[in-house]
């Protein structure tokens, strides 16, 4: 199945995993909670983090999860969202080490880190079917025709961008 690449599968796993932890199981005890914490909020307290950190990290993780999942259908900064998750997972592993947790408690964070890093490293196919493997080159490709096409009108610029990116003006792969 061409639509389901490794990067897309990882987007689904990471996105749904984050939503599960933060929206479904946040008040549930698990064997992976840091220290002796029974809830996600207790875990932040066990790490000695200020109360607002729970809300900041939660917002970042839920936001990243939404971008990862919605990015399957619409053009969103999926690689940036995965990078945010990777950085947060490094922090989670550091917190487990800080409180002297057994290695087993760090496994979910380590797996999420590995999957997020793999998403960042993969070229991303956008909802329009455009393969983006070098964001800088893609941005330059997008900017150049728009600048030259601006004097020709929006339709010419749109057609030029679509031609350069090998998609039809309607967003379908050519």
Residues 113 and 147 in one domain: no
How crowded is residue 6: how many other Cβ atoms within 10 Å of its Cβ?
A: 11
Q: Quote the CA–CA distance of 110 and 90 in Å, as a whole number.
A: 8
Residues 109, 68, single domain; the answer is yes
Each residue's pLDDT tens digit, 101-155 = 999 999 999 999 999 999 999 865 555 555 555 444 444 444 444 444 444 344 4
Nearest to 53 by CA among 93, 20, 92: 92
* 74: pLDDT strictly greater than 70: yes
Q: Are residues 72 and 154 in the same domain?
A: no
Pairing mode, strands 124-125 and 131-132: antiparallel
C-beta neighbour count of 157 within 10 angstroms: 18
Q: Where are the beta strands (DSSP E) in the chain?
A: 124-125, 131-132
Q: Which domain holds residue 16?
A: 6-125
Mean per-residue pLDDT over the chain, rounded: 79
Q: Show the tokens assigned to 64.
A: 């990243």
């Amino acid at each position: 199945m061409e639509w389901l690449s490794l990067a897309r599968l990882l987007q689904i796993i990471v996105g749904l995993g984050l939503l599960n932890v933060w929206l479904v199981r946040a008040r549930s005890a698990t064997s992976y909670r840091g220290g002796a914490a029974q809830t996600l909020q207790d875990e932040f307290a066990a790490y000695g983090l200020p109360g607002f950190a729970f809300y900041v990290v939660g917002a970042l993780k839920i936001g990243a999860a939404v971008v990862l999942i919605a990015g399957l259908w619409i053009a969103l900064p999926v690689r940036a969202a995965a990078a945010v998750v990777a950085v947060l997972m490094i922090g989670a592993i550091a917190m487990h080490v800080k409180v002297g947790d057994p290695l087993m408690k760090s496994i979910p964070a380590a797996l999420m880190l590995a999957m997020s890093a793999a998403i960042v490293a993969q070229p991303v196919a956008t909802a329009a079917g455009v393969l983006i493997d070098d964001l800088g080159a893609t941005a330059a490709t997008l900017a150049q025709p728009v600048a030259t096409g601006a004097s020709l009108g929006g339709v010419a610029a749109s057609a030029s961008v679509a031609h350069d990116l090998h998609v039809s003006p309607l967003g379908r792969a050519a």
